[in-house]
């Protein structure tokens, strides 16, 4: 592995408003087809977005005893990144509650068709510590906020120790950020009083080959902890690999990443379950593959689901035994059931139709509501979740930035 070159931090005040562009990478086979398909989505889906917005239903009755909370959305503007806050009522509905600056700049991957960061986990809420973490891809920094209801108090803005940060993982008081630019890297931090404190010697390169601002299809898309906190998983998209790294209690990473070939093309996002299994969306085939982490840090394939039939399956979230995935190119959400053997069964190729360009998803802590960003429509969708996993539309929230060579990405719920 190459030694880590020194990184030069640019503050949000001194960073240039627009990042330099990079030459596109060659796209062959399924990668080229995927890029072309997603790129056409804004044109063919606008009518569907309007229909979905007009057809949004009222919330479920009998909300007595249900908890209220908040939803946070990262706006990711190149001129200055902001977080939009919404109060969440007991019936799941949202009301705008203000915006706050992250102190950094948003960014856009080269050639991004409808989601600027081409990632999952760019905005993460640590519910136990009431801390919200946001990446600033345009200024190579990460921001932490103390959370009080819908209120956010900025506690720190720190260098990400790499280029173009796109995803954050949290376990206990550890946070790791994924930098998608250059060779790619993960860097560790402690959460102390709501602030991020870098862990010396915790940065590891991933051996990728990107420019400082990566092409969307070649950039790694997510970093996440296994449930026990002993390992990190990274999805690499066009490299068609899943990388695992062991993490010690001190927050240091031991050795180089262990590389597992993906069972299906273009692994994009993943969730874990309480048994430690990893469920990965495959954007190239519209399927979901389940893996088990072995003692040697490799991921053993348990099985792959049937395809959703949708286009650009790129984001997922787990609520109990149900996994939901957003098909950005076909404006739908699909659903899977996690079986006892760790595999997933596709239960609803179309669990819900959405406004145009569904990307990131988040669930309320009690699992009663699902929230989704619609990048092309510039809106949020709210769904109630039945015991069996069925989704019912509750609300469509307009007024958010519409994707146009940049746009919002990242959502979290409390």
- DSSP string covering 224-255: EE-TTSSEEEEE-GGG-EEEEEEE-TTSPEEE
Q: Residue 175 in contact with residue 196, Cβ under 8 Å?
A: yes
Domain total of the chain:
1
- Looking at residue 184, what is its pLDDT? 97
pLDDT band with cut points at 50, 70 and 90 for residue 137: very high
pLDDT at residue 400 tops 70: yes
d(Cα 17, Cα 317) in Å, to the nearest integer? 32
More confident residue, 16 or 352: 352
Give per-residue pLDDT as tens, 95-135.
Answer: 999 999 999 999 999 999 999 999 999 999 998 899 999 99
Residue 190's CATH number: 2.130.10.10
pLDDT band with cut points at 50, 70 and 90 for residue 249: confident
> Would residue 15 count as lying in a domain?
no
> Would residue 134 count as lying in a domain?
yes
Segment (H or E) for 42: helix 41-44
Q: How many CB atoms lie within 10 A of CB 200?
A: 8
Work out whether the CA dihedral 225, 226, 230, 232 comes out positive or negative: negative
Give per-residue pLDDT as tens, 161-220.
Answer: 999 999 999 999 999 999 999 999 999 999 999 999 999 999 999 999 999 999 999 999
pLDDT band with cut points at 50, 70 and 90 for residue 39: very low
Rg of the chain in Å (alpha carbons)? 19
Give per-residue pLDDT as tens, 73-96.
Answer: 999 999 999 999 999 999 999 999
Q: Which pTM does this prediction carry?
A: 0.86
Closest to 187 (Cα-Cα) out of 245, 264, 270, 102: 245
DSSP labels, 251-296: SPEEEEEEEEE-SSS-EEEEEE-TT--EEEEETTTTEEEEEEE-TT
Q: Residue 187 in contact with residue 203, Cβ under 8 Å?
A: yes
pLDDT at residue 272 tops 80: yes
Segments of 79-230 assigned E as strands: 82-88, 94-101, 123-126, 131-136, 141-148, 151-159, 165-171, 174-179, 185-192, 195-198, 204-205, 222-225
Q: How many CB atoms lie within 10 A of CB 23?
A: 7
Q: Residue 124 in contact with residue 132, Cβ under 8 Å?
A: yes
Bridge partner list, 304: 289
Percent of the chain with pLDDT over 90: 80
Closest to 336 (Cα-Cα) out of 346, 321, 327, 351: 346
pLDDT at residue 48 tops 60: no
| Segment among 62-76, 142-156, 281-295 with least mean pLDDT | 62-76
Closest to 170 (Cα-Cα) out of 194, 195, 186, 189: 189
Residue bearing tokens 């088990």 = 292
- Looking at residue 45, what is its pLDDT? 30
- Mean pLDDT for 396-403 is 97
- For 27-53, letters b (16+ CB in 10 Å) and e give beebbeebbebbeebbeebbebbeebb
pLDDT at residue 9 tops 50: no
pLDDT at residue 26 tops 80: no
- Mean pLDDT for 141-159 is 97
> Would residue 8 count as lying in a domain?
no
- Looking at residue 125, what is its pLDDT? 97
pLDDT band with cut points at 50, 70 and 90 for residue 65: low
d(Cα 233, Cα 117) in Å, to the nearest integer? 18
Looking at residue 30, what DSSP letter applies? H
> Would residue 213 count as lying in a domain?
yes
pLDDT at residue 355 tops 90: yes
pLDDT at residue 60 tops 90: no
> Would residue 23 count as lying in a domain?
no
> Would residue 22 count as lying in a domain?
no
> Would residue 10 count as lying in a domain?
no
> Would residue 20 count as lying in a domain?
no
Percent of the chain with pLDDT over 70: 84
d(Cα 42, Cα 143) in Å, to the nearest integer? 31
Give per-residue pLDDT as tens, 296-345.
Answer: 889 999 999 999 999 999 999 999 999 999 999 999 999 999 999 999 99
Residue bearing tokens 């595999």 = 343
- Looking at residue 405, what is its pLDDT? 84
Q: Residue 357 in contact with residue 37, Cβ under 8 Å?
A: no
Residue bearing tokens 């273009």 = 266
- Looking at residue 61, what is its pLDDT? 33
- Looking at residue 41, what is its pLDDT? 41
- Mean pLDDT for 233-255 is 94
| C-alpha distance from residue 150 to each of 76, 156, 363, 382 (Å) | 19, 18, 16, 17
pLDDT band with cut points at 50, 70 and 90 for residue 381: very high
- Looking at residue 11, what is its pLDDT? 36
- Looking at residue 7, what is its pLDDT? 35
Q: Which domain holds residue 368?
A: 30-55+68-413
């Amino acid at each position: 592995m190459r030694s880590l070159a020194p990184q030069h931090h640019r503050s949000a005040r001194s960073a240039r408003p627009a990042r330099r562009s990079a030459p596109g990478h060659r796209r062959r086979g399924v990668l080229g087809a995927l890029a072309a398909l997603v790129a056409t989505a804004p044109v063919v889906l606008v009518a569907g977005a309007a229909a979905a917005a007009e057809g949004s239903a009222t919330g479920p009755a009998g909300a007595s005893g249900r908890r209220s909370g908040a939803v946070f959305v990262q706006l990711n503007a190149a001129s200055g990144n902001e977080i939009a806050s919404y109060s969440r009522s007991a019936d799941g509905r949202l009301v705008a509650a203000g915006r706050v600056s992250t102190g950094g700049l948003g960014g856009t991957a080269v050639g991004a068709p409808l989601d600027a960061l081409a990632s999952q986990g760019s905005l993460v809420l640590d519910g136990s510590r009431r801390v919200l973490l946001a990446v600033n891809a345009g200024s190579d920094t990460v921001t932490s906020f103390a959370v009080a209801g819908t209120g956010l108090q900025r506690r720190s803005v720190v260098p990400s120790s790499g280029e173009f940060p796109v995803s954050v993982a949290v376990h206990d008081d550890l946070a790791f950020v994924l930098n998608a630019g250059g060779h790619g890297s993960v860097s560790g931090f402690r959460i102390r009083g709501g602030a991020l404190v870098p862990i010396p010697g915790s940065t590891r390169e991933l051996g990728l080959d990107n420019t400082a601002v990566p092409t969307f299809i070649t950039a790694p898309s997510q970093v996440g902890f296994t449930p026990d906190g002993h390992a990190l998983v990274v999805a690499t998209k066009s490299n068609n690999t899943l990388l695992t790294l062991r993490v010690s209690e001190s927050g240091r990473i031991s050795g180089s990443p262990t590389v597992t070939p993906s069972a299906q093309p273009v692994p994009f996002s993943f969730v874990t379950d309480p048994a430690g299994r990893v469920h990965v969306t495959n954007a190239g085939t519209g399927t979901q593959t389940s893996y088990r982490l072995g003692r040697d840090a490799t991921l053993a394939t348990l099985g792959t689901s049937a395809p959703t039939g949708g286009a650009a399956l790129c984001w997922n979230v787990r609520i109990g035994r149900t996994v939901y995935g957003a098909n950005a190119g076909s404006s739908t959400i699909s659903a899977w059931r996690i079986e006892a053997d760790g595999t997933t069964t596709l239960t609803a190729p179309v669990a819900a139709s959405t406004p145009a360009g569904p990307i990131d998803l988040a669930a309320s802590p009690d699992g009663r509501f699902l929230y989704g960003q619609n990048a092309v429509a510039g809106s949020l969708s709210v769904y109630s979740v039945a015991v069996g996993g069925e989704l019912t539309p509750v609300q469509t929230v307009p007024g958010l930035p519409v994707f146009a060579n940049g746009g919002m990405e990242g959502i979290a719920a409390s």
